[in-house]
Amino acid sequence: MPMRFVMVLSALLCTACAVSVHLGYNKTTAEQAYRHAIAKPFNNLTAAAAAASSVCAGGSQPNQQQCYIDTASEIMSARAVVRTLLSVAVPHGFAKANSDLVRGLGIFIDGLIERNRGLASRSDSQYAAGENLISKGLSIQKRALSEYPPGANIVS
């Protein structure tokens, strides 16, 4: 009887070992899938933001009409990032950073929309309010990116 108990216990322990290794593999795969899913939307947002920054106030080639157009493109790109962050499987260790990144992007998008309203209505105060929201959103995004585990290699 005691020998049978040892054999059952050994079988259970071996099963747990196999599950542990499997879960470790899935975690790595999940992190790779997450990084892969967000890479293109983030690259598109970076390109759209670079275009807008050169033509909006303080940029090297200020142009209100082009700022409005490029900001609209930036809004669409930022929304695509948010959609991706909300739809991709989020590894457990990335959950808080992912949530905070979505929150920061939401404020950033609100700021871009407000800035464009200011451009459309020629309202300096509305434009400035949009810029303040953009700065706040970027600050939250920066903090969120620092919340990913070390070595996660998330865009920064």
Our count of domains for the chain comes to 1
CATH number of the domain encompassing residue 86: 1.20.120
pTM (2 decimals)? 0.80
* pLDDT tens readout for residues 90-114: 999 999 999 999 999 999 999 999 9
Please indicate, yes or no, if residue 3 is contained in any of the structural domains.
no
Cα 51 versus chain centre, distance: 20
Please indicate, yes or no, if residue 156 is contained in any of the structural domains.
no
Please indicate, yes or no, if residue 72 is contained in any of the structural domains.
yes
Q: Is the separation of the CB atoms in 38 and 82 below 8 Å?
A: no
* pLDDT tens readout for residues 38-91: 999 999 999 999 999 999 988 788 899 999 999 999 999 999 999 999 999 999
For residue 51, the enclosing domain spans 33-146
